[in-house]
Structure formats: structure tokens, C-alpha cells
Amino acid sequence: MEDIEQTCASLRAQIAATEAQLAGLKRELQVAEQAALNSQSQHTDTEERRWPLLAEEYRRYGRQMIVPQLGLQGQLRLRSARVLIVGAGGLGCPAAMYLAGAGVGTLGLVDGDTVESSNLHRQVLHRSRNVGKLKVDSAIEYLQELNPHPTYIAHRAHLAPDAAADIFKDYDIVLDCTDNPATRYLISDTAVLLGKPLVSASALRTEGQLMVLNNPPRPAGDKTGGPCYRCVFPRPPPANTVTSCADGGILGPVVGTMGVLQALEAIKVITADDTQPPSPPSLHIFSAYSTPLFRSIKLRSRRANCAVCSAEATVNLETVRSGSTDYVFFCGSADPEMLLAPEERVSPLEYRELHPQSTVAETGKQPTMIDVREKVQFDICNLENSINIPISTILASSASKGDDAAAQLPSWIPAELAAADSTNPIYVVCRMGNDSQIVVKKLKELGLDREGRRKVVDIRGGFRSWREQLDPEWPEY
């Protein structure tokens, strides 16, 4: 019976994969047919009419064409422009929406992720019915309804060094809508090496940043070219300081604001009068809870020793393609560090086996569960009788073990844990199982393990594993 069920499950999976592939091919055919129709229609219209745009395009884009900075010539530049957006998430969605709406001729999207329900509060091109679908397909489905005139091209994979140049070469301008340093350096390097202007943005929690880089695009060594990402950030941040939206959180309108500004800057670059010099390079900083909301910092020109755009450049297309320029190594490992030994960690299942809920009182060893998530997360969901000590509070403390350990203990340690005669076990838990490791080491440095007589360990995998192994109803956020 079990073999039959496995066979059925395998067949269902194959059918689903085939249907998904067929759906993708149908979408590609639809895009190709629409592009052919547009091309034919424009060709016929040009022959028969003296107006350069279709009648429907005049109606659609009229409100922006009467803006003096754009005009008819700006609209024609938009229609002939080819724009590549790397990342169809919180930044890429609003950027793509406004560029498509403005009438960009060709819009390419690069992303290998699928839509998740946790994306929907900020990634505004995606819909609930598209959960599980590739983001680029979900986005293009919406964009085609918004404006059928542009040609939409899906690149259904994460950007990789060996493929980046082949993708970028067919576009005029690139938008970096990603959220990790390694990809940012790859995008910037490739854009500079191929002579493409780059609009780069980022957003986290309530803040965002925006830059227009390599504008104007100039060959390596030409000091009149705009700075690149390496010029602004010659060294990446330490890997353990990089926080993603998944870990740090994000307000939808914040990342939406930055994505809209990316679209605006792209339109300005595309429609700029060739006789006018580009705006001086600047870093624009947005903070939703500050007054004023925006401030700008003037950026220096290209660095004389930049590895990509200076006369001393060591990065070229061949080093990028071949992997000699190792972006993951340059930026540090993206994987969480393993700070603890295996015996200093327990899985949720192991914790439950050691401390069954019905026998805690009988054992006499009442465990203490310390939840080191920030209070805003603790308030969303928490374990009964757990103690919330945010990791930010712990890291702000400089106290350490001394001759008088009790006197040296920081104030955030509860009195019951500080008691000299207490050897009840301490378990530390966080959202993903990373911060908890840091706190276990901190507690041991403070001497709370009683020189090995008290168990101080973390819950491996945090509440993500807790949900998978013990409580499927635990809120997933």
C-alpha cells in the first residue's frame, strides 16, 4: 500500500512539474506573439501615419509626455529602451510596475525565487493565487495586464557570475533590486565592464538607500565616469552584520518608496538630454521615522585604485565569468556561523524528550527558557513561562565574569538564574537558531554554567525548527 501511495505521489509531482513547464511555455509564447504584434503594428502605423506613436500610446502616455522634462522625445527614448531589473521582490515589483506603466520598450526580470505568502505585504506585483509560482512569471502576468505594449523577458534563475554578462549585454540600463552584498558586487562589476548605468537601492526595517552608479558609463581608467559600487563600498560589511528583510523585518511602503525612486532615476537616465551632464553622484538616504524623511550625501568620483573602474583594474569579464572573482569569498560566508559544539545544542525534539510537560514537576529540574528575540517578536508569539531578554540588551552589556561573579553580573540576568546554588538547566531560543548561539557563549562567559555543573544550551534551529518538529500551529512570520 505504501509503495502505491509513493507511486501516486511521484506521478502527481511529475504532472505538476509538467503543467508548470507548460504554463511557462504558454507565457513565453504569449510574450513572443505580443512582441510580434506590437512590432507589426508599429511598422504598419509608421508607414500609414505621420505620427511616431500609436493612437493608443498617445492616450496612455499623454499625461507624462506633457511634462517638459519628458516630452515626445523622452517618450520615444523610453519606448526604445531596454531595462533589466535584477530581483522581482520588494524593490523590483514597484520599479517594474512604474517602468512598464511609463512605456519602457523592453523590460527584463531576473529572479529564481517563488512567491511566498510572506512576500505579499510588500511585493505588490504578486497575488495570493500566485503563491508557489516563479516570481518573474507572476510579475510579468501582472505587468502584461497593466501595459501590453512593452516586451517582457523572464530570466528564471538567480543571477550567476558565469551568466551575468550574457544577460546584461542586451540591455541599456540595470536596476539592482537584490538584498545581498555578493550579488550587489556582481551586478555592479558586470554593469561597469559592459558600460551600463546602474540604479542601486536597498531597504531594511524603516530605512532605505539609493544611488545611481556608473553614470555616465565610461571605460576603466576614465575619471569622467560615474563611481561604481566598489568605489562607494571598497570592502563589504562583515558577513555576521548583514541582516536580510526576513531576519530584520521591513515595512512595505519603505521598500516600495525605494523601488519607485529606482524607476524614477531610471526614467531620468533614459530620457536625459545628451547635451546636459548627469547629476552629481549622491547617496540618498530615506528614514520613515525621521524628519526630514530624506537626506543626501555627495559621493566622490571614481576611486583611483578601484578594482573594476580604475586604470589599475584587476576585475574583468573573464575573471567574473570564470569564477576567479569569487564574490561569496569576498563578502564572507552567507551561512550562519556554528559557534557552539554539538553537545551545546539540542533540537526541539530532544528538548521535549528531556523535559516532558507532564513530568517537569517530578524531576525537580525546572528548565529556564530564555527567548532572545526582540520584544516586538516575543509579543507576536511566545512559549509559556519563557523569559524574554532581547539580544540587543545582552549585546549592549559589557559585564563579564570576575572575582565576585554575582556582583559582576549584568542587570538583565534574572535573579533566579544568578542564585549561586541554582543548577537548573538553561535553554536559549531565538527565531532561527543564530542569536541563541551568541547568547549561550555569553552566559558561559559570565559563569552561569557553574563550571560545567549547569547545562546551558541553545535550541538548534530556533522557532523555525520548533514549528517543524513540535508545534505546527506555531505562527510562521
435 annotated as a binding-site residue: no
**pLDDT over threshold 70, residue 115:** yes
**331 is known as an active-site residue:** no
97-109 pLDDT, tens per residue? 999 999 999 999 9
**245 is known as an active-site residue:** yes
Angle at the Cα of 258 from the Cα atoms of 252 and 263, rounded to 5 degrees? 120
User: What are the residue ranges of helices labelled H in 103-228?
Assistant: 135-146, 161-168, 181-193
Read off the pLDDT of each residue in 260-284 and give the average, rounded to a whole number: 93
Q: Give residue limits of the domains in the chain.
A: 81-331, 342-397+408-470
306 annotated as a binding-site residue: yes
151-189 pLDDT, tens per residue? 999 999 999 999 999 999 999 999 999 999 999 999 999
Instruction: Report pLDDT for 401.
Output: 46
298 annotated as a binding-site residue: no
46-75 pLDDT, tens per residue? 446 688 999 999 999 999 999 999 999 999
Q: CA 436 to CA 253: how far, in whole Å?
A: 31
Residue from 93, 177, 245, 331 carrying the catalytic annotation: 245
395-437 pLDDT, tens per residue? 887 544 444 444 578 999 998 888 877 788 999 999 999 999 9
| Domain 81-331 class, CATH top level | alpha beta
309 annotated as a binding-site residue: yes
pLDDT band at 35 (very low <50, low <70, confident <90, very high): low
Give the residue from 172, 191, 178 showing the smallest Cα distance to 95.
178
125 annotated as a binding-site residue: no
Global confidence as pTM: 0.80
Sign of CA dihedral 125, 131, 133, 135: positive
Residue from 93, 177, 331, 430 carrying the catalytic annotation: 430
Contact 285, 294 (CB under 8 A): yes
The CATH number of the domain covering residues in 342-397+408-470: 3.40.250.10
| 360 sits in which H/E element | helix 360-363
